[in-house]
Homo-oligomer: A and B are copies of this chain.
Amino acid sequence: MTLVPVIMCGGAGSRLWPRSRSATPKQFLSLVGADTMLAATAARLHHADIGVSLAAPVVICGAGQEGLVQRDLAAAGRPAGRIVIEPFGRNTAAVAAVAALEAFALDKDALVLLLPADHHIADVDGFWRGVGAGLDAARDGYLVTLGIDATGPDTGYGYIRRGDVLSPGVFRVNAFKEKPDAETAQAYLATGEYDWNAGIFLFRADAMIAAFETHAPAILAHCRDALARAAIEGVLTRLDAGAFHDCPSEPVDIAIMEKAGRVAVVAPVRAGWNDVGSWDAIADLRKAGAGSAAPPERVIALNCENCLIESDGPLVAAIGLEDLVIVATADAVLITRRGMTQDVKTIVNALKSQGRKDLL
């Protein structure tokens, strides 16, 4: 049985501005360690000892990003089996449908491991233990998610509530929950029944296709059509823009996972997972020893404590600072108090409304 890893590479990542830009979003940047997020994700797919044959990764990316994808997969030593190019974003349900259809075309019995390009996983063995634990359920036709061990009442993640046990460490999903407020998150944690939803999925290609036929047939039809009319150039598959244009835009969680009958969660997965969703998260990861790719000769810091300071542009000279995040690029500098880095979105929105495309 073949496991086809499909990397979802279309994100924009405005929360990591000013490093992350529309032309080079988060997955193509070195934020934790020297590799880009995508290269680290691809490199992780090298290493599996769970009794399946691992196909070359399929990457689904945005228009104009195929060069960066090839660069990063080459750096990881895992050239793509196929790069599917979306002419525009249509959210993750369309990505899951395309992933299932591509894998099914490759092998009617294929399993798909669908995962984001821009997450950090410190413990790769732990990650594969989680995937391995879900294999039987996936073979049985369950749409399986990885439920990440919730180590705190984080309000930045969705949660999954475990239901009946299917096998040791594998449960039916009782409910998917949107990002909660602090009180609700605390209540979830107290029950011991909740895990974080990392957006990492394992499923038989045919089971996912069947779920789309039942719950989101329009998305499936548009994706089938966009693939059938796609322009193929070597490893590149350019989805047909006309067919893809009218595809409904929905998250796979809502279009499929919350509606499908046989949905399972592997939990708790302990893999040092982090979605690297803010500069605060990066500051924490750096502190935890995950290193920085920023040239240190561009920073002089005197009497600074608990600060993340990096620059790939101007020299940054810092004096007497505490609890700040400072990120400098050639044309923009972010300076923010730690714990407020989510407000970067407000800056990005202000620049959008000012029409400052040069800075986005």
Task: Give the interface of A toward B (CB within 8 A).
Answer: 18, 300, 302-303, 311, 313-321, 324, 326, 328-337, 340-341, 343-344, 346-347, 350-351, 356, 359
Contacts and interface: CB of A to CB of B under 8 A. Distances in A.
B300 A315 contact: no
B335 A335 contact: yes
A7 B315 CA distance: 34
Contacts of A340: 303, 319-320
A333 B328 contact: yes
Contacts of A341: 319
A318 B303 CA distance: 20
19 contacts: A300-B350, A302-B346, A302-B347, A314-B330, A314-B331, A315-B332, A315-B333, A318-B335, A319-B334, A319-B340, A319-B341, A319-B343, A319-B346, A319-B347, A320-B336, A320-B343, A321-B324, A321-B336, A328-B333
A316 B318 CA distance: 15
Given A300-B350, A302-B343, A335-B326, A314 B317 contact: no
A319 B337 contact: yes
Which one of A317, A341, A346, A350 has the highest number of Cβ atoms from chain B below 10 Å of its Cβ? A317
A333 B336 contact: no
Nearest to A309: B335
Given A315-B331, A328-B333, 20 more contacts: A300-B347, A303-B343, A311-B333, A314-B333, A315-B333, A315-B356, A317-B335, A318-B335, A319-B334, A319-B336, A319-B337, A319-B341, A319-B343, A319-B346, A320-B337, A320-B340, A320-B343, A321-B324, A321-B336, A333-B333
A207 to B, nearest CB: 45
Given A302-B347, A343-B302, A350-B300, A334 B314 contact: no
Max chain B CB contacts within 10 Å: which of A303, A314, A319, A337? Answer: A319
Given A300-B347, A314-B328, A347-B300, A319 B335 contact: yes
Which 5 residue pairs are nearest across A and B when measured between Cβ atoms? A320-B337, A319-B336, A320-B340, A315-B332, A317-B347
A347 to B, nearest CB: 4
Contacts of A328: 314, 333
A333 B316 contact: yes
Contacts of A314: 313-314, 328-333
The listed residue with most B CB atoms (<10 A of its CB), out of A300, A328, A331, A335, is A335
